[in-house]
Amino acid sequence: MSVDSLGTARPSAAPVEATQRLGLGAYIVCFRGIVWREVLRFLHQRERFLSALVRPLVWLFIFAAGFRQVLGISIIPPYESYVLYEVFVTPGLVGMIQLFNAMQSSLSMVYDRETGAMRTLLVSPFPRSYLLISKLVGGVAVSLLQVYVFLGIAYFWEIEPPLIGYVTVLPALILAGLMLGSLALFMSSVIRQLENFAGVMNFVIFPMFFASSALYPLWRVKESSPLLYEICRINPFTHAVELIRFALYGQIDWSSLAVVVGCTIVFLGAAIFAYNPSKGLIARRGGPGG
């Protein structure tokens, strides 16, 4: 596959002129190239694939087993009857897969930048925002693969949403993936070195994951701490999880949908701004690749 060379199709042409000459077909080729590269990269890294699957499964099989009795005392929408903790936590774990995947994909951006691989991508004649969005979609595609394999395994663990739920959850997954991906993309623009990334993982991934409705219903959080409840409520990750939870049962949570769409626009705008070579944060630091 000569995917890597696609982005460097016209290194000699000036970007602005080239963009004018590029037709829709070229855009599609570029888009396909970037997305396919992400997917292939993921499929070829068997360890990454395995670890991406093992993480939520460990939560499902071990953590959730220990908390089995936590729920079952209240019916919360979209569930129509009492559910075991495993069933409740599944949308949260789907969100976790997408969160980790988004972070990992932005981690690869930092890595690309450090190793200089990003330079080849950025000299392509396409608008940078287009390249970023393509990269983002690539990340989302990878997360979709992970999520569906996870849901497939979870099905045999008696987590059986209605069949239609596997279809209706797709747009929710794409939206949630875009939101988390653009957040991660923005963050990757702020991080200069790979080493700093671990800190961001601690300061972003864990608070986002734990202060959300992924692991426990919000009414439970409210019982113990009203402040934490408010924090959870404004956490965009909570809304991503709720959007997925409702969609998995063929329903739409409108307020979560609005929050996720809104956040996606804001984060993506910020990321595009940050990666803008003339105005953004990259420019201030003296360009990619260091």
**Binding site residues, another protein, CB under 8 A:** 1, 40, 43-44, 68-69, 72-73, 75, 80-84, 145, 148-149, 151-152, 155, 160, 162-163, 166
Closest approach, Cβ 188 to another protein, in A, equals 26
Query: In Å, how far are 84, 198, 279 from 287, measured between CA atoms?
Result: 51, 22, 11
**Is the CB of 23 or the CB of 47 nearer to another protein?**
47
Closest approach, Cβ 150 to another protein, in A, equals 11
Length of the chain equals 290
Closest approach, Cβ 5 to another protein, in A, equals 17
Q: Are 123 and 232 in contact (CB under 8 A)?
A: no
Query: In Å, how far are 78, 221, 226 from 229, measured between CA atoms?
Result: 20, 6, 5
**Is the CB of 155 or the CB of 206 nearer to another protein?**
155
Query: Residue 251 is encoded by which pair of tokens?
Result: 């329903």
**Is the CB of 71 or the CB of 274 nearer to another protein?**
71
Could you say which DSSP state residue 81 is in? S
Closest approach, Cβ 41 to another protein, in A, equals 10
Query: Residue 263 is encoded by which pair of tokens?
Result: 């956040």
Closest approach, Cβ 251 to another protein, in A, equals 14
The terminus-to-terminus CA distance of the chain in angstroms comes to 29
**Is the CB of 149 or the CB of 281 nearer to another protein?**
149
Closest approach, Cβ 23 to another protein, in A, equals 27
- HEC letters along 179-216: HHHHHHHHHHHHCCCCCHHHHHHHHHHHHHHHCCCCCC
**Is the CB of 81 or the CB of 278 nearer to another protein?**
81
Closest approach, Cβ 54 to another protein, in A, equals 17
**Is the CB of 1 or the CB of 227 nearer to another protein?**
1
DSSP string, 90-146: HHHHHHHHHHHHHHHHHHHHHHHHHHTHHHHHHTSSS-HHHHHHHHHHHHHHHHHHH
**Is the CB of 43 or the CB of 50 nearer to another protein?**
43
